[in-house]
Structure 1
Amino acid sequence: MIKKIIGFSFITALILTSCNAKKEQNKEEVAVNNGIITPYTAEMAENAVIYEVNIRQFSPEGTFAAVTKEIPNIKKLGVKILWLMPVYPIGEKNRKEGLGSYYSIKDYRGINPEFGSAEDLKKLIEEAHNNGIYVVLDWVANHTAWDHPWIKQHPDWYEKDKNGKLQSPYDWTDVVALDYNNKEMRKQMIADMKYWLDDFKIDGFRCDMAHEVPTDFWEEAKPQLADGKDIFMLGETENTDLLVNAFDVAYGWELHHIMNDIANGKKDVSAIDVYMDSIPKKWQADDYKMIFTSNHDENSWSGSEYERMGDAVETFAALSYALPGIPLIYNGQEEDFKRRLKFFVKDSIDRNPNAKMRGIYEKLGELKMNNLAFNGAKKAASYERLKTSDDKSILAFKRKKNTTEAYFIANLTKDEKSVVVPITGVYKSYMSNTEITLDANTNLKLKPWEYLILVK
């Protein structure tokens, strides 16, 4: 009897221990989902999508609160990283047009009252974290507004011309350039960046015109900002030296311009081949790019993706997910938004309940999130160009990681094409959810700008 009791007690203890372990595991899962114990790591970017928020133009209200309400919908797009364009007070001296440029910063630790309060921003960040989305702030280290306090307090922190006058970079007359020979200014710049990491619990930065600031500043700043942890560092640059010890990801400007040129018949697919072949020669193995069909600069100054790419918009959006790298959705692209946003005044995007691209981005986001073959960051899936019967018109490649593989085939012309591709087997055409069988003799007919993503 004693043995039975002891045995029963032992089994009961095991069951209770197991239940408690499951409870603790569930607690951990909840905590992970709520962003409590999942600080950003480099691995998180492998299947990430970035969403760039232009807060002023994101909604009629143009506020943090309006963005916060939309975070569940942004999450449906597969977004893991939310990039907030500058949230700081905008300079008034030499301001451009009515509301001025977000990139003319009056106070690195302040909040633009146009957008709401510091508490409103914290709520936005908290809601993003609760939805498993990391938040990065736009940082402008190259220059400040003319009425930033440093102008009067530390005039020696700024560049001067031969006559001792402060200088604006380029034709940006609303800002004045900082002097990175000044060590005290560097120290304060790093402290101001760290303020947002510590007090607002952001996960990193998108750094404006990163190549205009000395590389050694970013290399000095990165370990102090990270403090032993990973933070996401996106540099607006294609300078390879900035990714050695400072930034994780660079802009894919070169590829972006190639896509525009192909869409307009100025280049063919061979331009992409030359670009892809150049990457291992110029970049480190774990460097990667942010790939985009639009962003705040392109939309306002060069035109919407529809102006620049016409009927090829969806195809190049899909390509931005299929290539190694991290894709970007800019403010309203999911709404089939087809016009340029004004930059210096209020001009909010139009919401479209019947938007085609929302469904496309949601489906591409699922693919990016769940298929290892489309991992694109420091441990990206491999890229193998496939030779077709028409390599100037057809882009075909294979992506593979571990045992997972997938294929991308696209007709990058305005004409219907018939092509043979070296793919054999039965696959699912991911976007249409239909079955497709290919062999060495299959003559694949592709409509203008038609693309296929083939998965097992």
Structure 2
Amino acid sequence: MAKDTSLTLRNFLIYQVYTRNHTKEGTFQALIKDLDRIKSLGTDIVYLLPIHPVGEKNRKGTLGSNYSIKDYRAINPELGTFEDFKELIKSVHEKDMKIMMDIVFNHTSHDSVLLKEHPEWFYYRDGKNANRVGDWWDIIDLDFTSSKDLWEYLIETLEIYAKMGVDGFRCDVAPLIPLDFWLEARKRIAKINPNFIWLSESVHKSFIKYLRDLGFEAYSDGEVYQAFDILYDYDIHEEFLDFIKGGSLINYLKAIMNQEAIYPANYVKLRFLENHDQERIASLVRDENILNNLTAFIFFVKGATMIYGGQEAYNTHRPSLFDKDDVDWSTYEEHNCVDLIRTMAKIKKDPIMATGKFNILLDFEPLKLIVMTYKNKEKVRYGIFNVGNDNHQIELNISNGTYTNLVNNQPITYNGKLSVEHTPIVFDVIK
């Protein structure tokens, strides 16, 4: 973890937007019109997928992936102009939110302006431009060992956007890029904005080993934390998916607790149920009661929370990265997920969620219950989430009495046992 990372990031809700598919228009101006709704969810950071021109050579799909970038210092005209982007930044700030943009420095499109100007900055295999991961055939990799001039160009690019008012960067496959580059970039950007937020897309453990076995450099989460404030929890994503698909819950919960020991004390993990690279959670979990409990859980577990535009409508279809494929907002009013997100985002703002001593009570796992606590000098906060199909009566180490479920503001009674049905439960025990 970067030494100056603020623990308050654990209180944050990050809202991920794929501008192309977020609205029918697919523009910055259309997104501006949706900011009030996004803010109403309790959002702290609006995170945009890449906003730059997309390469045309070896393009995937009709419009191509926004991660196949032609020019880091230009705006995709499909989304708008630089003036539109500046207006979006201003509008986000006026609503007391921050804006984060996606940074993709591991690779470019095959027709990148950099390839024309500086072919020596690129990775080659057998004398030809290539990438280190074979199935990413619409991109070619930069070679960070080629020249410090490349480093300077990229850091200057970051400085341009920081000076424009961008508050944070989400850095694509950051563990594949030299750690020293990120450390230098962080140092330089801090001179512009000392409170800048750095989010790293980490990679799965199996992918790290795969790259290392090929002879490439790939950093572990513990290493990447030196330069970043928040990391994806891909280090335990395989355990999460196994649980979601009917496998072991205990292995997933133990993996979360293991993070408490192997990362710096001020670590911040990004907790999510889905994102643009993963299937919609509502396509994997069809039971709405379990979906609601998982949604509440992802806010309660230690770390920052991210939701992907459309998740709050329980969309089952993951929009294509390569074509116009709009989010389906028609189901927005059909579920209570929106109210639940708003409530959990408010609960998450309590300082105990950032600085309290976090624990998972594993004894309840056989019941398909996730029971977690935060403790400080004033209180203990309990979170109980039923990810199974049955109701339960459980014993807790609390005094008999009536408490308030902060999720629905209803009383809950403990008289030697607590009734757990299908509504998420969050309550405080005052010391």
TM class, shorter-length? 0.7 to 0.9
For 1:267-306, what aligned pairs fall within 5 Å after superposition? 267-268=248-249, 270-298=250-278, 303-306=279-282
Which residue identity is paired with 2:184? E
Q: Secondary structure at the match of 1:245?
A: coil
Is the 1:265–1:413 contact (alpha carbons within 8 Å) kept by the matching residues of 2? no
Report the secondary structure of 2:412's partner residue: strand
1:153 maps to which residue? 117
1:170-220 CA-to-partner distances (Å, cap 9, x unmatched) read 21111110001021111111111111111x210110000111111121112
Deviation at 1:421, TM superposition (A): 2.5
Q: 1:215–1:241: 8 Å Cα contact kept in structure 2?
A: no
Deviations 1:59-108 (A, max 9, x none): 00000011111111111111011101101000111111100000011010
**Mapping for residues 408-419 of structure 1, pairs under 5 Å:** 408-419=383-394
Percent identity, aligned pairs only?
30
Specify the structure having the higher radius of gyration (Cα): 1
**Aligned match for 2:420, one of 428, 442, 446:** 446
Map residues 119-158 of structure 1 onto 2, 5 A cutoff. Answer: 119-158=83-122
- Letter of the aligned partner of 1:339 in structure 2? H
Which of these residues, 168, 182, 192, is aligned with residue 157 of structure 2?
192
1:80-229 to structure 2, matched below 5 A, reads 80-161=44-125, 163-170=126-133, 171-181=135-145, 182-198=147-163, 200-227=164-191, 229=194
Q: Which runs of 5+ in 1 are unaligned?
A: 1-39
Asked if 1:433 corresponds to 2:396, the answer is: no
**Which letter maps to 2:420?**
L
Query: Which piece of structure 1 moves more, 329-338 or 128-137?
Result: 329-338
Q: Which residue of 2 aligns with 1:403?
A: 378
Partner of 1:14: none
Aligned-partner residue type, residue 47 of structure 2: W
Is residue 362 from structure 1 mapped to residue 337 from structure 2 by the alignment? Answer: no
The number of equivalent residue pairs is 402
Consecutive aligned runs of 4 or more in structure 1 exceeding 6 Å deviation: none
- After superposition, the C-alpha distances for 1:129-162 in whole angstroms (9 at most, x for unaligned) are 011101111000100111111112111100111x
Aligned-partner Cα distance in 1 for 2:426–2:324: 39
Judged with a 3 Å threshold, the aligned counterparts in structure 2 of structure 1 residues 220 and 274 are, in CA distance, closer, same or farther, namely: same
C-alpha contact (below 8 Å) 1:386/1:421 kept by paired residues: no
Deviation at 1:402, TM superposition (A): 4.6
Distance 2:12 2:176 in 1: 27
TM-score, with structure 1 as normaliser: 0.83
Taking a change above 3 Å as real, the CA distance of residues 258 and 418 of structure 1, as seen in their structure-2 partners, is farther
Specify the code of the residue in structure 2 equivalent to 1:152. Answer: K
What secondary structure sits across from 1:107 in the alignment? coil
What code does the residue aligned with 1:287 have? Y
- String of CA shifts for 1:406-433, please: whole Å, max 9, x gaps: 1011233233333222233431111221
d(CA) in 2 for partners of 1:336, 1:255: 23
RMSD: 2.1
CA contact (8 A) 1:321 1:327 kept: yes
Structure 1 counterpart of 2:392, one-letter code: K
Check the 8 A contact 2:179/2:224 in 1, yes or no.
Answer: no
Corresponding residue for 1:455?
428
Contact kept in structure 2, 1:243 and 1:249, CA below 8 Å: no
Partners of 1:189 and 1:91 lie apart in 2 by: 18
Find the aligned partners of 1:118 and 1:41 in 2 and give their Cα distance: 30
Q: Contact 1:388 / 1:420 at 8 angstroms: preserved in 2?
A: no
CA distance in 2, matches of 1:390, 1:49: 27
Are the equivalent residues in 2 in contact too, given 1:324–1:381 (CA < 8 A)? no
CA 1:169/1:221 → structure 2, altered by over 3 Å: closer, same or farther? same
Structure 1 counterpart SS, 2:124: coil
Instruction: Please give the secondary structure, in 2, of the residue aligned with 1:399.
Output: strand
